[in-house]
Amino acid sequence: MKSAEYKRLKNFVDEHLLDFLPDVDQSSQTVLDAMKYSLEAGGKRIRPVLLLEAFDMCAENLFFALPYACAIEYIHTYSLIHDDLPALDNDDLRRGKPTSHKMFGEATAIVAGDGLLNTAYELMNKDMLLYLDDPAKLKMRVKACYEIAKGAGCKGMIAGQIADLEAVNKQCSRELLDYIHVNKTGAMIVAAIRAGAHLGGANDKLLNSLTIYGENIGLAFQIVDDILDIYGKEEDIGKTAGSDERSSKCTYPKLYGLDASIEKLHSLNDAAVKALKPFGKKGQPLIELANELAIRIK
């Protein structure tokens, strides 16, 4: 993606992404190496960038939001490590590199995912402890942590993951497909945006508009991934192309066809942009990001 603002925030996240990993003794070094491997493998950093963009619409000093931006990327990376395991999607490539279980073995990959998930919550709670004497700022952080936990939990990403697994080799309805995508992918995108808004002290009007924006780009983002899995090139998407089809997964192109999927994508993108139009220049970076995400199919 070419947006200067996106690149600025992505670089900010990449620069500090390892800063919050725990110090471990030699006996635990292997799991830390595996955690670092997956974090450093690359990626678009969409979720932390969205969190920081939402924060930036409301407040200054991105360092206040940085722990939560890194935490959500830790959680996202843990989910990718576990998704790639033989028991789930059984992928050999992630972000253009061998997946964690290919590098470290299945057992270590599982524990590395666990390590990233727990480090994320440790990091957010550690930050909250700094504000025990400032109830207003503490409340913002508690709300942000809750949004991230909810988005990653059994009414969010995990709900989508289990529905996705159980839909394999079965006839998939439109309602089930939306449920899978809204939860497996969309929930963490909405969580990132709402967490950033809470950290920045957004008012109810802005929080509602950002939520609408997030719900629409969350579903649009997954539709693009569905399309790229079929029509994208391995060197561009960073993972093995056609894995969804081989696994008989329910996807938008499979259910609706390519043309209707692209039409739905543009409709969602238009709704996301419309939600932030009233905020003028403040919303422009997020509008640009939505537009860039929508054209990844080209």
Task: Decide if 238 contacts 96 (C-beta within 8 A).
Answer: yes
Q: What is the CA radius of gyration of the chain?
A: 19
pLDDT in tens, 210-221: 999 999 999 999
- pLDDT above 90 covers what percent of the chain? 75
Rounded CA gap, 18 and 20, in Å?
Answer: 6
Question: What stretches of the chain show up as alpha helix (H) in DSSP?
Answer: 4-16, 29-39, 46-56, 66-83, 100-104, 106-129, 135-152, 157-166, 174-181, 187-200, 204-231, 234-237, 243-246, 252-256, 258-276, 284-294
Task: Decide if 131 contacts 138 (C-beta within 8 A).
Answer: yes
Statement: residue 237 has pLDDT above 60: no
Q: Which of 117-121, 230-234, 288-292 has the highest mean pLDDT?
A: 117-121
Statement: residue 119 has pLDDT above 90: yes
Rounded CA gap, 102 and 87, in Å?
Answer: 13
pLDDT in tens, 19-66: 999 999 998 999 999 999 999 998 999 999 999 999 999 999 999 999
CATH number of 4-294: 1.10.600.10
Residue closest to 222 by CA, chosen among 165, 179, 191, 192: 179
In the beta sheet, which residues pair with residue 94? 97
E strand or H helix at 40, and its extent? none
E strand or H helix at 93, and its extent? strand 93-94
pLDDT in tens, 68-110: 999 999 999 999 999 999 998 889 988 889 999 999 999 999 9
In the beta sheet, which residues pair with residue 98? 93
pLDDT in tens, 54-74: 999 999 999 999 999 999 999
Say what the pLDDT of residue 159 is: 97
Please give the single-letter amino acid code of residue 2.
K
Statement: residue 138 has pLDDT above 60: yes
pLDDT in tens, 257-298: 989 999 999 999 999 999 999 999 999 999 999 988 877 654
Q: Model confidence at 233, in pLDDT bands (50, 70, 90)? A: low
Say what the pLDDT of residue 234 is: 57
